[in-house]
Structure 1
Amino acid sequence: MSQPIPTKIAVVTSMNGAKSVADAMSEIRGEYGDVIDLKLYYIDDIGKGLEDVAYLIDADIVWLDIRNDVPAVKLIKETLSGSDNVVLGFSMGNIFGVGPVWLEREQSPTQQRIISLIRGRMEEDTGWDDKNFDISKMQGMMKVASVAGKIPLKFFKEIGRRITMMEYWQFGGKENTKNLLLYLAKEYGRHNLKPKPPQEYPEPGIYHPFTREIFSTLKDYLKRYERTKKETVGMLLVGGSNLEDSAVGASEIMKRLEGEVNFISIYSQNFKYPEAIQDFFFDGNGKPIVDMVVSFLLFRMNGGPMGGDPKLTLDTLQSLDVPVLNASPMYLGEIQNWRGSERGLSPIEVITQITLPELDGCIEPILPCGYEESGFDQNIGTEVKAMAPIPDRLDRIAGRMEGWLRLKRKKNAEKKVAIILYNYPPDESGIGAAGYLNTMESIKKLLEALKEEGYTTDKLSEDINELFTSQGILNSGTWLSKGVTAKNSISVGNDDYLKWFKALPEHAREEVVGRWNDPPGDVLTYEERFIIPGIRLGNIFIGLQPSHGGDYKDIKDSLKKYHDKTIPPHHQYLAFYKWIQEEFKADAIIHLGTHGTLEFTKGKETGMSEECFPDILIGDIPHLYVYMASNPSEATIAKRRSYATIINHLSPSFTDSGLYDELAELEDLIHEYNEARSQDPNRAKIVQDQILEKAKEANIEEEIDDIYDELFDIKRSIIPKGLHTFGETYDCDSFIDFITFVLRYDRGEIKSLHRLLASSKGIDYDEMMREPGKMAGDKSYAELAGEIEEIAKEIVSIALNGGVKEAIDHLKVPKAYKSRSIDDLKKTLTFGLEVASNLKRSDEMGSLLRGLSGKYITPNIGGDPLRSPEVLPTGSNTYQFDPRLVPSDAAYTRGAKIAEDTLDHYKNLHNAYPQSVGVVLWGFETMNTKGETVGQILRYIGVKPVRKNPWDVRLKLIPLKELGRPRIDVVVNICGIFRDTFPNVVKLLDDAFNLVSSQDESLEENLVRRHTQEIFDQIKGEVDGVELAQKLSNARIFGPSPTEYGTSLRNLIKSRSWDSEGDLARSYISDMQYIYTADLHGYKSGETFEEMLSHVELTSQIRDNHDYEVIDLDHYYEFSGGLSKAVESVSGIKPEMFITDTTKEIVKTEEIDKAIQRAVRTRLLNPKWVEGMLNDGYNGAQHIQERVENILGLAATTNKVDNWIWGEIEDRYILDEEVRKKLEEVNPWALNNMMDTLFEANERGYWEASEEELEKLREICLEVEGWIEERS
């Protein structure tokens, strides 16, 4: 009797399935012989010529474990078209048919419903859908249907097979894999085999990584493994087919901490970890029994890839109240590839292993293991890739676990805490520089709080800045010698440092020595000792973060290299952090304020290795980072690269800009003019002349209506009022202002309070905002808007004190209006009270103290608190907006309008559309707006995103007829933070550009296609192959190299190390010539970049945040200015430069000079703003100095800073004796730097100062320098 022909099975899987298939096949061949002929292919190899196409076509069964790898599915479908294979697809708990295997083509509605339940409603070109596979539901439906006779026997049998296969697959493991293969051979290969039924596991359960025992109750587990009195660590493992792989890291951690802690490892096949945690990490009385959780999961804890109820997760983790460390292995990556990659993790890994766990509050993403080839296996016909430990990463995880447990265990009086302040510029003016934080007052508050909590600390005898500057405890002091610094600072001998240095990985040592020579070097060293600029107050160390790039003797050199990520830290930088680790032996590090340089030091983008400097510098010490809530982008980098737990803080209080000096006089004159026009035309003419004369004095060259519009815009602008002190909240008036400002804006169903109040008076609110000069009776819309603002504040005040009903009762509106819209008012005011409640719950200091006690810090989204009040309460662990949802529907709609507004504005100026728009795309803006700039870019090229679920975003081409204009080309300039935090959006945009350039449309109507063809023709003979030429010509996204986050342009401005504007343009082009596409990551191509820039006729950037105007951040001149200067350098023509402000009720696009003027008037020259900054003393003066410097940067890159601005700065800060004396008192070094900037502006031709102005400036400069020398 002849033997049955072996069943041919082709398995296409990710790496996690290979080992169980290989082990299963080994046992099958040992027990049954050659009943199965199997070949395994890895998903990543499909389409690369590594698969055996003939075998795939000839296979009886093709088993796909696709993990949402849509390209692989498409390729296999194409390969198998016309064949009659049985094709089984498994994907995240779903089973689906792919090819011609799928039963009859015509099914009854009941059959279709059952199929949809099995398939999870998957379409041929999508990945997993949002419906979890539900066997029990489907089985019940089948039972009913079979009784009713609605299912043919053949169909019923096939569905039964699918259920059985799904059970094998869901439960996973070698035994289930083995029996699934036998089952396939029996059912489809006609072999007489008797596979065992699926081996089920309790759900959820406890799993012991060493013994592989499974327990269904905590009681049973503790009988077998009794807890000692030491701390207990809970570990979260992935259930199902990933269980054994996720246990690899867990078992290695257990080895490293054996005898030191107890372990309880739990899993859930259905990603219902909140319930599992409640079952296994609490005792019978609801008391937590674990002191820490280490998660080996990917995705979120509740619901897996699609997510479930996040509130259940947060409530559970808050009750548990322990840190949750993220030790997610590389479930999709190989160790070898990761080690050699500057990028670290792939885009999908960043989202699944880092971004989504961050939403649950997981911290410190460190990779414990990944896949590694373990040799060829003839049973599967290829190399086996198995999960393998990464020893040094596991050591780091274990070390950091011990650090957190130590914080929980130690008494406060014994804990040592290092508080690190940023020092930029690295001189006397820049101690504790931080975004909108009064660092000096915050230090005082923090030390007081620590003292109250029992920490051992001394009282400060004077302000920190006074203490440091008077003793020369600085990085690059200008006014005191290094000898003074060395005398008053802590120091480390070179011999001690060498012990620490030699313990570093060899490659890291080579990089440091290669750049900085052998230790000790000459950066902040004195007599062979390293200076550690800082002071000890008992068990508290307060230190200045070292200058990243600097030489003490040359502050210009230091500034030039400060943010250069290609440069490894110098020896003194390493000595500073190693002293904290090894000699001071800190139990925790606090970085105070946004932001320092540690997280931007050299290393991978994500997934640090032992050779990455952020990992080396932070070591095993728990890291708490006090950060602005409104800056989630850079906070995200700190979380991922330096293992920071963010404690976010409020923005400063806000107020309206109001009007002052000539601006207030102008408004009065315009009111007089409006009154005279109807009563006394002769007087109106006189007043009109007075208005124009006064406007000229105020440097406003406009018609009267335009002047009024500008005054209205200035007056209603929301500005910060000084700085924030950590741990404080707003005073009563500021609290009312904040809620009133929040309620200015429509938010879906929540209508603007101001809109509702305007409506009650019969006023069209949008018209009032667009045309403030229009008269409504005897008053202008601007006057009525002012009245509405005051009513809104009054109503908010009443609501805060007496509730919504009292506020509405107080509001006198027409009865008809009340009966029609009272519900809208209730909704709006109720929302305002919810925001107020969250604001009151802000507990920044409490959260920091909780972090120092090893507790869970509740996560929350970051962003502008006025625009996105859901960021409240502060004191949270900031996370970024989910990148899968970019752009949101609202962001795309707003972005599309911005695109059309900019094009209309350009067309009004030039009577034509621009060929190409240069767009600045930041992670900062994208997180805050949820993707307005992304929407803007897509609209330019005529593409609309269609989101089926978070993992599935399609691109729909807008027909040219519907678009109503040509498709405008775009050159996208991204920052490094966008690259690292939105890799999926880079691909989305790249796909959009490729889609548009491939359309069969005329070159006049499709400028993307035109430029693509032109560039392709130019470079096809100059690059390596047609395929590369096509990729380069399609590329539209450019950014800094993979080792950088920005450009060196800022450093050139700050260090004054440039001779001409051409230097700035060349610097920008050199730094931003790196291409980012779906296939190219940081591909250097200056020629392509310059060719793209040559077509740009308009540059555009969005201003999205109430904290920051265009003069408040150096990044505006770095990117908008740098891009414009680069375009001018390449094409010889200055492009139009537009800024679109989306912080107001009406989105406004205007030329950059208008944006600069308004920012200067509302902030830098505004007595309200100046007073707020001066009231915040030393740090307030820093902020003033920064803005003056930023204006120089804007002048150099845009040539759009008017001459009058410099004169007004001199008048406001230098010639106003009261202001100057205050600056001299609080921070004379900042004042001196401001005057240096004014001199530089004059020398470079941006300020045409009179000799009288310069002479006054020289006199005062000498006076201030004398004052500084006297203090020194």
Structure 2
Amino acid sequence: NIIPLTVAITSLKDQASLDLINHLLQHVAIQLIVNTTGFASNRHQQQDKEHAYMSSEPLLYDSPFVRDVPILQVILASTVESDWQTHHYGLRSRDLAMQVVLPEMDGRIITRAISFKTMQQAYPRCEFQAVSYALQPDRAAFVAELAQRYLQLANKPNHKKRIALILANYPTKDGRIGNGVGLDTPTSCVTLLRALQAAHYPVSDLPETGDELLQRLLAVITNNPANLHYLPCWQSLALDVYWQYFQTLPQANQQAILNRWGQPENDPKYRQGRLMLAGIRLGETFVGIQPARGFERDLSANYHDPDLVPPHSYLAFYFWLRHVYQVDAIVHIGKHGNLEWLPGKSVALSAQCWADIVLGAMPHFYPFIVNDPGEGAQAKRRTQAVIIDHLMPPMTRAESYGELADLEQLVDEYYQALGLDTGREDFLREQILAQLQQSHLLEEIISPPSNNQTSNNQNQPSLADEELLNELDAYLCDIKEAQIRHGLHRLGELPNDDKLADTLVALLRLPRGTTVTSQGILHNLAQDLNLPDDFDPLAINAQTWQANRPQILQTISEQVWRTDADTRERLELFAKNLIQRFVLAKEALSELAVSLPRTYQQLHYVRDHLQPMLQDSAKREIQALIAGLSGQFVPPGA
């Protein structure tokens, strides 16, 4: 019951063409766009007009279309079909740029190449050969099926939809189930299940926590070969049904699996005439563990192996989802699974590419960490994934701990004693050098001094010893100031106030423009506190601090204030304190207007713009997925 409406235009960048499309969208019940034009047509709007010229200012996608419907990007290759068939990359660089990379900026769903150039009649007298586009029927059928499935998402009632949520498992150990990078995947999965339930999807018997979800998954078979023969399994595929599906694959693909893995009976997940599938059903919503790409070899290495064909149980898992359980969409949760790394072309996949064989023309959604667009693009281009960007985990300073903290204390005491108490100075120096040898930190700093470099006279330390202590001091400063993850992100949530304050300081450390609000927060504080103009608050500098010591920085910490790096640490602690008070606790900012005028302006920006943007971003992680599953457009960066 699909009624196609064909519209011929010059370009979506042409305003007259765009007006025509929008006129149709307003007057016709269009639910999906299949687009063959290249390049990008999107526009962006600044949320903060005052800083519109700043490249770092967050952008909001401004769709050129008046209706939020999915857009399938169809590729009309500028090469001949034989070039595509033999070219491992799928498309040449020109087509990749114009018909994949730029359209991705519009949030279009990358599909397949459906036509190629073919040579027609030649005209020798004018040295011209006519060229036309020839349809590739198999790839056109793929796009048509994908379009039909997206239309089903738009029209099928939610309570009749079956959704599969798939957790990665890399490497294939039970302790690594749901190991999305930077994401608390089990908890996020429960959050998604609650959102689906609230939207009237068939979800029931919902686990309360991520831990409970994992316990339920671990109570049945997983990818762990040690438990495959005694734990229960709630879904499986009969071998004769699997063979019927297997025999529909291209002959070369069938042979490749048989050559590498043998018969299905040899698969570790084969039991009593069936191939077992890891996962549980919560109502009619399936939560599964993505199968391993192989067995009886290095499980970590095979995850990204560009040549390893998947085993029988891998095909059975996705075949069951698509054709037996008949899910309406698949959601892979968190960076990253192994489906997008299966052998085949990089883009414009053929019917012989394994990702195409396994997933087919299935709507595919993928919550993925925002700071790795490269690997997210792999999923978009090879598995028609709609990427739902999620925030990075909360950030904080690494600080020092354990033997590093002990060394830092010894180094501080040494430099305090230097030139004042030679006996204590010698004792501390020997303590530091001995602890360096025991902890093997010398290997990370510099080579240890040779015997002839070390002085025998404790009152006359060698030059090598002094250089080593200076290197150690800088090394400890570098370690302390490093930005590290502080926990994991949870979809739809911001971290608690303490972690959020650390994250906001991390986001504000680097200058991003020329205005006061786009300067680094440490830079603004340094100017407000009249620190020297040549002081760089981002430099890892262990030189002795010889400038003024504002009272507010003296009281912010009880640690020794000895070096430039110690000044930077105090500025960061002060910045966090200000954010906790004036951004998160909403204290009156007016008291800072005179004493810290530049910081006052920046904190206004954080409270009025940056923090609300973060809150909105977390909220939209869930909203975008629910919209996509309803057959609606998901904007880029959602």
Q: Shared fold by TM > 0.5?
A: yes
Task: Note the alpha carbon deviations across 1:1103-1127, whole angstroms, 9 max, x for none.
Answer: xxxxxxxxxxxxxxxxxxxxxxxxx
- With over 3 angstroms needed to count, the CA separation of the structure-2 counterparts of 1:525 and 1:811, relative to structure 1, is farther
Return the letter of the residue paired with 1:654. M
Q: Which of 310, 322, 335 pairs up with 1:569?
A: 310
1:367 and 1:808 map into 2 onto residues whose CA distance is 61
3-state SS of paired residue (2:82)? helix
Shift of 1:351: 0.6
- 2:588 aligned with 1:588: no
Match of 1:432 in 2: 178
Q: Which of 71, 75, 94 pairs up with 1:348?
A: 94
1:810 and 1:693 map into 2 onto residues whose CA distance is 51
2:629 and 2:568 map into 1 onto residues whose CA distance is 48
Match of 1:627 in 2: 368
Alignment of 1:81-480 (within 5 A): 260-269=2-11, 271-272=13-14, 276-282=17-23, 289-301=29-41, 314-317=61-64, 319-330=66-77, 332-376=78-122, 383-460=129-206, 463-471=212-220, 473-478=221-226, 480=227
Match of 2:605 in 1: 830
Match of 1:1222 in 2: none
Task: Note the alpha carbon deviations across 1:925-957, whole angstroms, 9 max, x for none.
Answer: xxxxxxxxxxxxxxxxxxxxxxxxxxxxxxxxx
Task: Note the alpha carbon deviations across 1:1149-1175, whole angstroms, 9 max, x for none.
Answer: xxxxxxxxxxxxxxxxxxxxxxxxxxx
Give the unaligned 5+ runs of structure 2.
Answer: 44-52, 443-464, 548-560
1:288 and 1:679 map into 2 onto residues whose CA distance is 86
Shift of 1:855: 1.4
2:495 and 2:27 map into 1 onto residues whose CA distance is 36
1:721 and 1:620 map into 2 onto residues whose CA distance is 38
Task: Note the alpha carbon deviations across 1:71-120, whole angstroms, 9 max, x for none.
Answer: xxxxxxxxxxxxxxxxxxxxxxxxxxxxxxxxxxxxxxxxxxxxxxxxxx
Give the unaligned 5+ runs of structure 1.
Answer: 1-258, 304-308, 861-875, 877-1272
3-state SS of paired residue (1:841)? helix
- 2:594 aligned with 1:787: no
- The answer to whether the 8 A contact 2:280-2:288 is kept is yes
- With over 3 angstroms needed to count, the CA separation of the structure-2 counterparts of 1:510 and 1:675, relative to structure 1, is closer
Shift of 1:397: 0.6
Return the letter of the residue paired with 1:339. Q
Shift of 1:509: 2.8
- With over 3 angstroms needed to count, the CA separation of the structure-2 counterparts of 1:585 and 1:692, relative to structure 1, is same
- With over 3 angstroms needed to count, the CA separation of the structure-2 counterparts of 1:568 and 1:672, relative to structure 1, is closer
- 2:540 aligned with 1:764: no
2:423 and 2:256 map into 1 onto residues whose CA distance is 79
Return the letter of the residue paired with 2:544. K
3-state SS of paired residue (2:72)? strand
Return the letter of the residue paired with 1:435. V
1:568 and 1:456 map into 2 onto residues whose CA distance is 34
Match of 1:1197 in 2: none
Match of 1:846 in 2: 623
- The answer to whether the 8 A contact 1:726-1:845 is kept is yes
Alignment of 1:1119-1130 (within 5 A): none
- With over 3 angstroms needed to count, the CA separation of the structure-2 counterparts of 1:692 and 1:622, relative to structure 1, is same
Give 1 or 2: higher helix fraction.
1
- The answer to whether the 8 A contact 1:282-1:289 is kept is no
- Equivalent residue pairs, number: 579
Task: Note the alpha carbon deviations across 1:616-642, whole angstroms, 9 max, x for none.
Answer: 211121000121111111111110001
1:686 and 1:312 map into 2 onto residues whose CA distance is 58
Q: Which of 495, 500, 504 pairs up with 1:735?
A: 500
2:573 and 2:178 map into 1 onto residues whose CA distance is 38
Return the letter of the residue paired with 1:788. L
- With over 3 angstroms needed to count, the CA separation of the structure-2 counterparts of 1:561 and 1:512, relative to structure 1, is same
- 2:634 aligned with 1:857: yes
3-state SS of paired residue (1:655)? strand
Return the letter of the residue paired with 1:745. L
2:480 and 2:623 map into 1 onto residues whose CA distance is 37
- The answer to whether the 8 A contact 1:520-1:571 is kept is no
Task: Note the alpha carbon deviations across 1:384-441, whole angstroms, 9 max, x for none.
Answer: 3211111111111110001111111111110001111112222322222221222221
2:357 and 2:526 map into 1 onto residues whose CA distance is 59
Task: Note the alpha carbon deviations across 1:339-398, whole angstroms, 9 max, x for none.
Answer: 222221001111111000001111123112121234545675565321111111111111
- The answer to whether the 8 A contact 1:549-1:558 is kept is yes
2:585 and 2:263 map into 1 onto residues whose CA distance is 69
Alignment of 1:681-830 (within 5 A): 682-696=423-437, 698-701=439-442, 703-749=468-514, 750-759=518-527, 760-762=530-532, 764-766=534-536, 769-776=539-546, 779-800=562-583, 806=589, 809=592, 812=595, 822=598, 826=601, 830=605
Question: How high is the sequence identity, in percent, across the aligned residues?
Answer: 28
Q: Which runs of 4+ in 1 moved over 6 A?
A: 309-313, 802-805
Shift of 1:453: 1.2
1:393 and 1:724 map into 2 onto residues whose CA distance is 38
- With over 3 angstroms needed to count, the CA separation of the structure-2 counterparts of 1:287 and 1:379, relative to structure 1, is same
Shift of 1:338: 0.9
Match of 1:488 in 2: 233
- With over 3 angstroms needed to count, the CA separation of the structure-2 counterparts of 1:318 and 1:828, relative to structure 1, is farther
Structure 1-normalised TM-score?
0.43
Shift of 1:499: 2.1
- The answer to whether the 8 A contact 1:497-1:575 is kept is yes
Match of 2:449 in 1: none
- With over 3 angstroms needed to count, the CA separation of the structure-2 counterparts of 1:612 and 1:483, relative to structure 1, is same
- 2:256 aligned with 1:511: yes
Match of 2:287 in 1: 542
2:300 and 2:433 map into 1 onto residues whose CA distance is 45
3-state SS of paired residue (2:178)? coil
1:557 and 1:420 map into 2 onto residues whose CA distance is 23
Structure 2-normalised TM-score?
0.82
Shift of 1:678: 6.7
- The answer to whether the 8 A contact 1:624-1:645 is kept is yes
2:12 and 2:315 map into 1 onto residues whose CA distance is 45
2:112 and 2:538 map into 1 onto residues whose CA distance is 54
Shift of 1:548: 0.8
- With over 3 angstroms needed to count, the CA separation of the structure-2 counterparts of 1:666 and 1:358, relative to structure 1, is same
Match of 1:93 in 2: none
- With over 3 angstroms needed to count, the CA separation of the structure-2 counterparts of 1:667 and 1:346, relative to structure 1, is same
Alignment of 1:1055-1066 (within 5 A): none
- The answer to whether the 8 A contact 2:88-2:344 is kept is yes
Quick one: higher RCO (CA 8 Å, sep 6+), 1 or 2?
2
Shift of 1:811: 6.6
- What root-mean-square deviation, in Å, do the aligned CA atoms of Structure 1 and Structure 2 show? 3.2
3-state SS of paired residue (2:62)? helix
3-state SS of paired residue (2:346)? coil
- With over 3 angstroms needed to count, the CA separation of the structure-2 counterparts of 1:771 and 1:560, relative to structure 1, is closer
1:722 and 1:811 map into 2 onto residues whose CA distance is 37
Shift of 1:500: 1.6
Return the letter of the residue paired with 1:743. L
3-state SS of paired residue (1:429)? helix
1:410 and 1:270 map into 2 onto residues whose CA distance is 30
Return the letter of the residue paired with 2:523. R
